[in-house]
Amino acid sequence: MLDYITNYLGSQVTPGQAGNVFWITVYILVIFAGVSVAVIAMNWLERKIMAHMQVRLGPMRVGPHGLLQPIADALKLLLKEDLMPENADALTYRLAPLLIVIVAFTTFIVIPFGPTHAVTDMNIGLLFMLGVSSMSVLGIVMAGWSSNSHYPLIGALRSSAQMISYEVAMGMAVLTAVVMTSLHGMGPYGVGGANTSGTGTLSMIGIVDAQADQQVWFVFKFFPLGLIAFVIFAIAMIAETNRAPFDLPEAESELTAGFHTEYSGFRWSLFFLAEYAAMIAVSSVAVTLWLGGWLRPFPNIHGPQINLPGFWVQAAPQAGLVDLLFSFAPALTFLALAGLSFRAMVRMPRHPSFKVQTMGLGGFGAVLALVGLLLLVPPVRNRAQDIFWFVAKVSVSMYLYIWYRSTFPRYRFDQLMKVGWKILLPVSLGVLIATAVTGVTLGGWH
Amino acid sequence: MNDEKTARVLAPLPPETAAPNTFLDSNELIINMGPQHPATHGVLRVILRLDGEKVLGLECVIGYLHRGVEKIAENRTYAMFNPYVDRMDYVAAVSNGLGYCEAVEKLMHAEAPPRAKYIRVILTELNRIASHQLWLGTHALDIGAVTPLFYTFRDREEVLKIFEKYCGARLTTHAFRIGGCLYETYDGFEKEVRKFCDFVDPKIDEYEELLTTNRIWVERTRGVGVISGKDCIALGVTGPVLRASGVQWDLRKAQPYSAYPDFEFDIPTGQRGDTYDRYLVRMAEMRQSIRIIRQAVERIPEGPIMAKIPKVIKPPVGEVYHSIEAPKGELGYFIVSDGTTQPYRLRVRPPSFVNLQALELMVKGQLVADVVAVIGTLDIVLGEIDR
Amino acid sequence: MPEEDKPVAPPSPPGAGQSGETPAAAAPPAPPKPAAPAKPPGPAPVPWESELVTRLKLQYGSAVAEASTYAGQHYLVVEKPILHDLLEILRDQDGYDYCVDVTAVHDPKREQPFALVYILYSFAHNTRVRVKTWIRDGESAPTVTDLWPTANWLEREVYDMFGIRFDGHPDLKRILLPDGWKGHPLRKDHSILQQDNEWVQINLGIESGQ
């Protein structure tokens, strides 16, 4: 049994490929818990960031700087009465939120947080991802239909039309990345080192590996083709997740809350959870396809080789100096966050009523500092830096989500369709063809 | 009661609107928007008849906020009724008060002294800015832009602070009395108003920066809820909606009242009569208001603030109609006096009520999302519609 | 309500032809304004002389009962039968293209207790005119929705508040009050103390709306 567990630690493949059931279970649990915590954190961050963009403070009361607000909200939602419209289709009504949550979390199976940090690596990972995520429209339609109410129905209809439309453009953009994996060469234009091997794969890990091999993030490949495809994907993914400015299915001012108007309490919070989980999932795909997944910035620069024996470099013996420097970034980030927490703690008013909050901030900072210090340890550092870079990139994408929401008005339905079919789809098709042509002429097929 | 109304809307379509060849059988959808709905600005109820997302027809159901203001007026003295008018268009309470006080003064053949008139103009124009700011915030929110709401409320706060310092109230101010003003300006009033003008001018640029060239904003508002100047006049629509349709008509210029003849300002107009033009007109109006306030503060005369009118207000027998340019349009008071201390009949001509009638014309054939945009752009206040 | 609050003679608005004794207290005591010269007994309406009035009087004779100016505002009092035609003439020939308001005044002391008031405005001439007509209780008036669509809701409100019916109105029903409301509140015989509890009892299941 112990062998069964330890065998995997040294392995260079994902537990799914290794067939290691124990580690698969652990990974699934960790990802589930991690995504749930991320959703809670995202909730707090979204409220704080939007508040600061809108000259407000946001939650300030529950916990220091409102840090415990999402937890309080979650508790409130759990305790709320679970209402169901009288004439609702009971079974469908109850199934819909479950389906959406299951779908949202299933997609995380194939998302690689690092070369080995994925539940499994399917050779059709990307296809699986698209297929599963498009099933969430089913849950939305079920929710809208079974509520037996007009607003949810219209919301569901809008949602299905929107998601189907944008999946096409999204698929084209994804194909562009897939085409790029099968092209040779180093550097943005694929000229030069024909010795590296692209893989031509749908596997999520394979795609990042291809970016590592070609030493370029696909967003910069065949500039500006990669960038255009990335932008198309970024727009489509906002529409896919029903977020502003494409949040028509839940357009508050028109349809009160869209397809989940009739839901309350825990069922409503499942929708909430699923929405944010789906946002994280599609952002992860975007990061994997275009932004080099777990690769650190400037993956093509390694700096001079250093082979000093000793504790600090022992973990990455063949890496260059730049690699080493970048590998300190996770620890420094956490230490900086800890510093911010301590600073906030020092600045708390000296008053007995703030005592608990001050202590809480201090504890939070201590935890962050501990994580930061732990990340300095070479084996941990080496294994965790992939996850760090991946999460950092996803965080940037999530920040953009919030930024869009507080900046843009909402599209109208016909305009949304116009953008989807008349702009994004032709452009993405063009980019796909142009990528293929450029690849053939400049790099040659693998 | 509701069944009856719904049944009327549910009545079959007239033949010309029914789809000629319905290969796929489809039904109309009746949607009940309001009276409790995030976008109906209060308790407006709109029953929409939809074909998919397209609006085939609608019916407004109003009166949820009816308080019988006109009946109350007949049972109160002229001075006692003054605070009630603040409760109609509570977003622009000062304008309501100005209209009422001027109407009663006209009935009494009295006139407020020049200083009072200037104070009135300053406060009324400040209130116009506040009203437009609130409109902009909520209108943008309806269209999905969340942030302008907070910006406008932040800046509207400065107006309310001036009101509070002047008369102790922020929203329903009861700032004016029949015959002039009760309160002299507080120390530093002029300085603060000037400061506010300097403060809010760049803020309006800030709102415009967020919206005017925003592609989504332009797409959502351009060509939406178009109404021609002719239709506006036929439907009695006034205020910025009329001006955005190209009719250069503002009561402050057409039939100047109070101290308005003394000031220089322009009447901004639009050409297309769509939601975007109405937005631009209102933005320009805020700038014109600032211009008026700056002039008024500069030239404010010294002197009494109250005309010599009797303590008990007893206008002679007669009837007058007086109207002012409220932020929403022509706000008129038709007062019949029988020589007693109470109005015999007081009729309010509310701009929002009349403007709301145009909703059906403006959204028929457009999409559900446009209904929300058009309700926002009409700038209605239900307190004034239902009275 | 009106009985206790209005001991003074009924309003008989200035169009009704009374001229004399207005209460002395109403006169502004020595107004300091140079603009408004003092009018000791309270101003009375003066006849409105204009080409329009001459023409209308020529056309309709005594059906145009009065044409006066009060406080700088012109008004016409006409008989009901010519009301619609006259308004149409005002709209088409004299440019009164904007119907500002349609409202009513109730004066129960008169034989024809309801005054319908149409306030018109001309964009071309920048002038206003009020057209007034007196009708009996229960008598209906011609609608002007065919002349000005804006009259639709305004006439509905008059109907709601006074119970005056308009012939030919496309959708004459209550607008501000609930459909089941009894009575018309702006009539003088409708006391403000009178509560319509029936509606709340049936629809809201409570004893009283108070």
Q: Is the pLDDT of residue C1 over 50?
A: no
Q: Is A244's Cβ below 8 Å from some Cβ in B?
A: yes
- Neighbour tally for C18: CB within 10 Å: 14
Burial of C1 (0-12, 13-18, 19+ CB in 10 A): middle
Shortest distance, CA B194 to any CA of chain C (angstroms):
30
Interface test with B, best of C175, C184, C194 (most B CBs within 10 A): C175
Contact residues on chain A for B30, CB-CB shorter than 8 A:
150
Over 50: is that where the pLDDT of A277 sits? yes
Candidates C176, C177, C190, C201, partner chain B, best to mutate (most B CBs within 10 A): C176
Q: pLDDT, tens digit, for every residue of A93-104? A: 888 899 989 998
Judge contact between C143 and C155, C-beta under 8 A: yes
pLDDT digit string, tens, across residues A228-257: 989 999 998 888 888 878 887 776 666 777
Q: With bands split at pLDDT 50, 70 and 90, how would you rate the model's confidence at A336? A: very high
pLDDT per position as a tens digit, B363-387: 888 888 888 888 888 888 888 888 8
Interface test with B, best of A235, A246, A254 (most B CBs within 10 A): A254
State residue A10's pLDDT score: 64
Q: How far is B261 from chain C (nearest CA, A)?
A: 15
Task: Flag whether pLDDT at B24 surpasses 70.
Answer: no
In the sheet with C46-47, reading across from the earlier edge strand, the strands are C46-47, C64-70, C73-78, C127-135, C114-122, C98-106
d(CA A152, CA A158): 10
Q: In chain A, pLDDT over 90 holds for what percent of residues?
A: 6
**Half-sphere exposure at residue A186, Cβ-oriented, CA atoms within 13 angstroms:** 9
User: DSSP string spanning C167-203?
Assistant: ET-TT-S-SSS-TT--S-TTSTTS-TT---HHHHHHH
| pLDDT of residue A64 exceeding 60 | yes
Touch test C–A: 3 Cβ pairs or more under 8 Å: no
Give B 125-184 residues with CB within 8 A of chain C: none
Do the Cβ atoms of B30 and A150 come within 8 Å? yes
For residue C12, the model assigns a pLDDT of 44
pLDDT score of A252: 65
- With an 8 Å Cβ cutoff, are C36 and B336 in contact? no
Count of residues in chain A: 446
Two tokens, residue B334: 């038709």
User: CA nearest B372 in A: which residue?
Assistant: A254
Residue in A56, A254, A409 closest to B216 by CB: A409
The residue among A193 and A361 whose pLDDT is bigger is A361
Helix axes A90-106, A265-290, angle to 10 degrees: 30
Sole residue written with tokens 């200037």: B118
Q: What's the pLDDT band for A196 if we cut at 50, 70, 90?
A: very low
**How many residues are there in chain C?**
210
Residues of B in contact with A412 (CB under 8 A): 219-220, 367, 369-370
CB A180 within 8 A of CB A134: no
* C-beta of residue A63 within 8 angstroms of C-beta of residue A69: yes
Nearest CA distance, B371 vs chain A (angstrom): 8
Distance in angstroms (rounded) separating the CA atoms of residues A262 and A390: 37
End-to-end CA distance of chain B: 21
Per-residue pLDDT tens over the stretch C177-187: 887 777 888 88
CB contact under 8 A, C31 and B109: yes
Chains B and C touch (3+ CB pairs under 8 A): yes
* pLDDT value at C21 more than 50: no
Tell me which chain A residue has its CA closest to the CA of residue B28: A150
Q: Chain B residue with minimal CA distance to C23?
A: B339
Distance from CA of B157 to the nearest CA of A (A): 13
Q: Compute the Cα dihedral for A385, A387, A390, A395 and give only its sign.
A: negative
Q: Is the pLDDT of residue C119 over 80?
A: yes
B44-48: long-range contacts, CB 8 A cutoff, minimum separation 24: B44/B356, B44/B375, B44/B380, B44/B382, B44/B385, B46/B359, B46/B371, B46/B375, B47/B5, B47/B6, B47/B9, B48/B368, B48/B371
Residue B6 at interface with chain C, using a CB cutoff of 8 Å = no
Residue of C nearest to B353 (CA): C153
pLDDT over 60 (residue B235): yes
Q: Which amino acid is at A32?
A: F
Partner-chain contact C22 B110, CB within 8 Å: no
Q: Give contacts of B343 with chain C, Cβ < 8 Å.
A: none
Flag if B68 and C28 touch (Cβ within 8 Å).
Answer: no
Confidence of residue A427 (pLDDT cuts 50, 70, 90): very high
- What pLDDT, on the 0 to 100 scale, is given for residue B108? 86
Nearest alpha carbon to residue A149 among A212, A84, A201: A84
Residues 29-68 of B with CB under 8 A from C: 62-63, 66, 68
Q: Give, rounded to a whole angstrom, the gap between the first and last alpha carbons of chain A.
A: 43
Average pLDDT of the residues in B61-87: 88
Task: Decide if pLDDT at C41 tops 70.
Answer: no
- pLDDT tens track for B299-348: 888 888 888 888 888 888 888 999 999 899 899 999 998 888 889 989 99
Q: Which residues of A touch B370 (CB under 8 A)?
A: 412
Eight-state DSSP code of residue C109: T
Q: What is the DSSP letter of B20?
A: S
Are the beta carbons of A285 and A279 closer than 8 angstroms? no
User: What confidence score (pLDDT) does residue A308 get?
Assistant: 58
The closest alpha carbon to C144, from C185, C93, C103, C113, belongs to C103
Number of Cα atoms under 13 Å in the Cβ half of residue A26? 11
- Smallest Cβ distance to C100: which of B66, B107, B330? B330
- The four Cα atoms A99, A105, A108, A113 give a dihedral, to 10 degrees, of 170
Closest by Cα among A90, A85, A60 to A72:
A60
A377-412 residue pLDDT tens: 777 777 778 888 888 899 999 999 899 888 888 888
Q: φ and ψ at A310, to 5 degrees? A: 140, 180
B33 vs B38: CA distance, rounded Å = 9
CA nearest B329: which of B240, B269, B229? B240
ipTM of model: 0.82
- Listed in order, strand segments (DSSP E) in chain C are 46-47, 64-70, 73-78, 98-106, 114-122, 127-135, 141-142, 166-167
